[in-house]
């Protein structure tokens, strides 16, 4: 009888330790080294709508190193990192660590999670495309308007080609959601859901997301976008 009681107590203690341990690990750490942000604030915004909301911030040291800790998310969520003039979108689910570095061309890169890395990479293509379009628009009379329009269209199609390849490779991935909702500068939308091909792509992604992540805020957003097209 004593042995049975002892075993029950031991089991309870063991399960309690496991529970406490799991609770302690529910932290998302966003860190990295961005030299351009040295001595400046680094911000993390939560993206649940068209208007990101700042949720965390930290001061980067003299080398550009920063670290932000926040409660881990329970469901797939999207965030935006802002550091000086740089920015990048990333996602987090059960991820514990997101680490940012700067690439050879000055773009932000993510290490620590494959999904977050794909979203970040595409966001850097959005940033590069916006920069290219802005430069063209600032040329003014130096370039004929028709030529500028053609160059912008060609660049948007180049972005579309990359986005399409990511979406079709894995419709249920976070980067698929981001690709179909990302807007370029001057409210340029790479996808036109009045177009039948783009609409079918939206339908595939929305239905897959709803199957894997039901009642998720992003799944619902995709379904609402799909419903508005069908109305």
Cβ(76)–Cβ(95) under 8 Å?
A: no
Does 140 score more than 80 pLDDT?
no
- Check residue 134 and give its pLDDT: 95
- Order of strands across the sheet with 53-59? 53-59, 41-47, 77-83, 86-92
pLDDT digits (tens, 9 = 90+) for 95-123: 789 999 999 999 999 988 899 999 999 99
Q: Cα–Cα distance between 81 and 119 in angstroms, integer?
A: 12
Pick the closest to residue 111 from 18, 51, 33 (CA basis): 33
- Check residue 25 and give its pLDDT: 57
Pick the closest to residue 43 from 97, 94, 89, 103 (CA basis): 89
Q: Cα–Cα distance between 45 and 39 in angstroms, integer?
A: 20
State the DSSP string of 155-187: HHHHHHHHHHHHHHH-TTSHHHHHHHH--BGGG
Q: Are β-strands 97-102 and 27-33 bridged in parallel, bridged antiparallel, or unpaired?
A: parallel
Pick the closest to residue 191 from 206, 208, 212 (CA basis): 206
Share of the chain above pLDDT 90, in %: 72
Domain spans in the chain, listed from the N-terminal domain onward: 27-112, 114-231
Tokens of 216: 């998720």
Q: Which DSSP category does 190 fall into?
A: S
Task: Enter the CATH code of domain 27-112.
Answer: 2.60.40.180
- Check residue 17 and give its pLDDT: 42
Total-model pTM: 0.84
Question: CA torsion angle for 118, 218, 51, 231 (degrees, to 10)?
Answer: 120
Cβ(54)–Cβ(45) under 8 Å?
A: yes
- Average pLDDT for residues 3-11, to the nearest whole number? 49
Q: What is the mean pLDDT of the chain?
A: 88
């Amino acid at each position: 009888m004593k042995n049975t009681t002892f075993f029950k107590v031991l089991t309870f203690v063991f399960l309690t330790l496991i529970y406490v341990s799991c609770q302690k690990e529910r932290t998302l750490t966003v860190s990295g080294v961005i030299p351009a942000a040295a001595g400046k604030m680094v911000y993390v915004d939560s993206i649940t709508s068209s208007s990101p909301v700042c949720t965390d911030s930290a001061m980067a040291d003299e080398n550009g190193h920063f670290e932000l800790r926040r409660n881990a998310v329970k469901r797939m969520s999207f965030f935006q990192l802002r550091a000086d003039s740089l920015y990048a979108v990333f996602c987090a689910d059960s991820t514990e660590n997101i680490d940012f570095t700067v690439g050879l061309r000055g773009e932000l890169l993510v290490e620590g999670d494959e999904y977050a890395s794909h979203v970040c990479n595409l966001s850097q293509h959005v940033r590069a495309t916006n920069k290219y379009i802005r430069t063209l628009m600032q040329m003014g009379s130096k370039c004929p308007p028709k030529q500028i329009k053609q160059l912008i269209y060609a660049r948007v199609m180049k972005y579309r080609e990359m986005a399409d390849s990511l979406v079709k490779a894995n419709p249920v991935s976070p980067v698929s959601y981001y690709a179909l909702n990302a807007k370029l500068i001057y409210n340029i939308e790479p996808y036109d859901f009045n177009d039948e091909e783009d609409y079918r792509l939206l339908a595939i992604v929305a239905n897959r997301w709803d199957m894997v992540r039901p009642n998720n805020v992003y799944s619902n957003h995709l379904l609402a976008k799909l419903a508005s097209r069908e109305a």
